[in-house]
Amino acid sequence: MYPEAAEILSASVAGQKDSAATTQRISVFRQLTRWKGDFLPLSDPCSVVQRMMLAVITGQLDEKLADELLARHAYGSSLEWERNLEKVNHSRGMLHDSAKHSNLTADVLLDVIAGNLKLSSEGDSASGYRVTMHRLGSKTQNYFVVKESGRFKVVTDGNPLSEAGNEAIYLLSIGQDSQARSLLDWIRDRIHKGGGDDPLSGPLMPRFWSVGDAADHKAMVRAAAALVADNVGIREFLPALQADLKNAINEQDRLNLELLLSPGYWTVQDGASLRTVSSEVISKYPDSYVAIEFAAHADAILKDWSNSNSIIAAQLAKHPDDENLLRIKARATEEQGDFAQASPVAKINITE
């Protein structure tokens, strides 16, 4: 009985000065109706986002429904898929928790959320769909949606980046280069090149792709690989990337490939290859925290810290109070089992 509730609330705030919140609630109730599970038609790409969102907040997104709504190729392995479902399951109590904080019952809050869910889409089956969702009191959310086997499925909201990378890799493998390019443009529009004092900082993907780049298959594979560099899926790309490094067309191309290979080798625990590549990077950028960390990771894998210990010591001699260097030093000494040395080094608040 939302119209009646709105009238009662309206009468209750008459003449009051501090009634902004109640006035907003009145406005919501005046146009609110009971949501009866009226989903958008399946022919609308917005429908899959609507169904996913309402299933998440009501705790109904089980594995069977997830398989119907989410693009499975956005997950590089069964483990990734299971971890995503675990993450979703953490939101099972969202509706009831939010109801407690809003002083509304869960049923009423569901009506408010469903009744004020605004969805719009752009795109087509060839390029994929970009769906925008507006929820009352929440930030705008964006999703990339594709059509698989006659059904719309959600690929990603852009987090984590590996979801977009995995899907792009799949699309490229089946000849859907146009859709892969659209997905890469969509995700690239949301991440930006690094900045600040360290020239090597920031996400990798912008080094390999800019919005509007030509649909060059090899360039798209590199861009997609950059999105899964910290994922075991990078393993299959390492031989080709190493071959590309040997034939790099210029120093910038060479550096970009080294920066992609480094986290890739770290991910697959190839310490020897990581040491070789990171040595090249640090020779060009000896003051880069990114390069120093690559050297430290290589040594940790190989259980031989002589190289990185020397590098870190030389840098701390020049910058003894540098917090980033002290963090790297503390982690390195802990990995070596030297907790007596790590304790005084960690004199800053290490939160990582």
CATH of domain 233-352: 1.25.40.10
Alpha carbons 152 and 100: distance in angstroms, whole number: 34
Whole-model pTM?
A: 0.85
Alpha carbons 303 and 240: distance in angstroms, whole number: 27
Between these two residues, 19 and 318, which has the higher pLDDT value? Answer: 318
- Tens of pLDDT, residues 179-236: 999 999 999 999 988 777 899 999 999 999 999 999 899 999 999 999 999 998 899 9
In this prediction, residue 237 carries a pLDDT of 96
Task: Select from 92, 219, 91, 79 the least CA-distant residue to 162.
Answer: 79
Task: Select from 182, 298, 139, 160 the least CA-distant residue to 229.
Answer: 160
Where in the chain are the domains? Answer: 1-32, 233-352
- Tens of pLDDT, residues 40-54: 999 999 999 999 999
φ/ψ of residue 146, rounded to 5: -125, 170
